[in-house]
Structure 1
Amino acid sequence: MKKLLYITANPKGLEKSKGLQIGEAFLESLLEECPDIEIKKMDLFSIDMAHMDRDLVSARGKLAGYGYTLEQLSDSEREKIVKMHALADEFVQYDNYVFVSPMWNLNSPAILKAFLDNLFISGKTFAHTPTGPKGLLTGKTALHIQTRGGQYTGTPMEEMESGDRYLKIALRFLGIDMMETVVAEGLDLYPQKVPEIVAQAKENARMAAKELATKVALNV
């Protein structure tokens, strides 16, 4: 059975978040196409995760380059590095991923970057090779659903968008195949058009669900 991890980074909740509502349209369509797929929802604002603070950076360095064992780390270092590996271990168990996040200040919410930091573990999600780093999470697919208050696509502001761009870079680095992002933008710029914008994004999300369902069916 294929497994999908549905990762959200919006504290507003389903009732108020247009992005989460678009995400639900995706899930409904996916379940219609793949009723047997296993889906787990992960709200990044509700989980306990390690952050790249002094202890975690120190622990990573000691284990990776200085020959320390886990037992030789301080209690705080050990607790955080174990938590980091546990989250990465859970992540790699899934075949497909959906990330739902808003654009805040040209980027994604900081909690999403903190989550991604937990996934960069040499030997687990990527490997150093003579020709450069190589992602180990091949054969997996991810989709990003992003909401934006302004209009970025096809405008001079496009190059300033860094949330979707970084997520794609990070996941591709780990070997994950990225689908075309489902974007709902101009939500603050054109308040009178919000229902139309959201409706179109929901339709795009349903199409993305059907595309992913095809990949699942073909086992690609």
Structure 2
Amino acid sequence: MNILQIKSSLNGKKSSSTKLSDVIVEEIRKKYPTGILTVRDLAIDILPHFSDQHFGAFSNSQEIDALIKEDIIKISDKLIDEIQQADFIVIAVPIYNLTIPSILKSWIDLIVRAQKTFRYTAEGPVGLLSGKKVYLSISSGGIYSQGPRKSHDFTEPYLKTILGFIGLSDITTFRVEGLSIPGISETAFSNAVQSIHIS
């Protein structure tokens, strides 16, 4: 059972979302010790932001330079192949300014491709990636999973929607939150670890 771990924090080894995702990976590997782990750290292996050239490459425009198109498609195909090879996908997501890091958005923009990871039908869009379990490891200074700021949680709803759009609909979220709140931050990570269960 292969695992793909996506890291998107700019905080390196100090990142709570990354550390929590490491625990999730460890728990998966306890159940499936022979699986291969692939790690993609988006803060190190930085992907290009979506541009008109990417749009042209994905739509097979004849106006874009052939070599540029080839490079774009090659990167996208590699990222999609990593997903296709994985049985478990663990995504570490810090909340920056109430949403996901831009480096994670770049990854998403490169894997959401018509006829490759989704297609349109008369009944609507159909995701082409399925049979995979996704775990989100979300960290935040505030508390957004419940309470008065729940309406500010644009991270989990967006990720569940866009991943579901390409067929990744079996999603479980674990959170380490309240990291900037005195009286909560001290136990936030240990509480998050205790919440982890792998199905």
- Secondary structure of the residue that 1:101 maps to in structure 2? strand
- Secondary structure of the residue that 2:181 maps to in structure 1? coil
Paired position in structure 2 for 1:39: 37
Paired position in structure 2 for 1:59: 57
Paired position in structure 1 for 2:93: 101
Unpaired runs of at least 5, structure 2: none
Change in Cα spacing, 1:87 to 1:21, as seen in structure 2 (3 Å) is closer
* Distance in structure 1 (CA, Å) of the matches to 2:75 and 2:111: 11
Quick one: which of 155, 167, 175 aligns to 1:183? Answer: 175
State the Cα distance separating 1:136 from its structure 2 match.
Answer: 0.8
State the Cα distance separating 1:154 from its structure 2 match.
Answer: 2.3
Specify the code of the residue in structure 2 equivalent to 1:195: E
Q: Residue by residue, what CA displacement relative to the aligned partner does 1:46-83 show, whole Å, maximum 9, x if unpaired?
A: 2253431121122223x1xx6x49xx744333322332
Specify the code of the residue in structure 1 equivalent to 2:118: F
Quick one: which of 159, 179, 186 aligns to 1:195? Answer: 186
1:152 and 1:161 in contact (8 A); partners too: yes
- Using the size of structure 2 for normalisation, the TM-score is 0.90
The number of residues matched between the two structures is 199
* Distance in structure 1 (CA, Å) of the matches to 2:191 and 2:159: 23
Paired position in structure 2 for 1:216: none
1:127 and 1:134 in contact (8 A); partners too: yes
The percentage of counterpart residues that share the same residue type is 26
1:133 correspondence with 2:120: no
State the Cα distance separating 1:88 from its structure 2 match.
Answer: 1.9
1:77 correspondence with 2:76: no
| Greater mean alpha carbon deviation, residues 139-148 or residues 19-28 | 19-28
Q: Which runs of 4+ in 1 moved over 6 A?
A: none
- Secondary structure of the residue that 1:180 maps to in structure 2? strand
Paired position in structure 2 for 1:217: none
* Distance in structure 2 (CA, Å) of the matches to 1:58 and 1:29: 41
2:176 and 2:189 in contact (8 A); partners too: yes
* Distance in structure 1 (CA, Å) of the matches to 2:27 and 2:79: 28
Unpaired runs of at least 5, structure 1: 212-220
State the Cα distance separating 1:29 from its structure 2 match.
Answer: 2.0
| Greater mean alpha carbon deviation, residues 147-156 or residues 101-110 | 147-156
State the Cα distance separating 1:177 from its structure 2 match.
Answer: 2.7
2:25 and 2:90 in contact (8 A); partners too: no
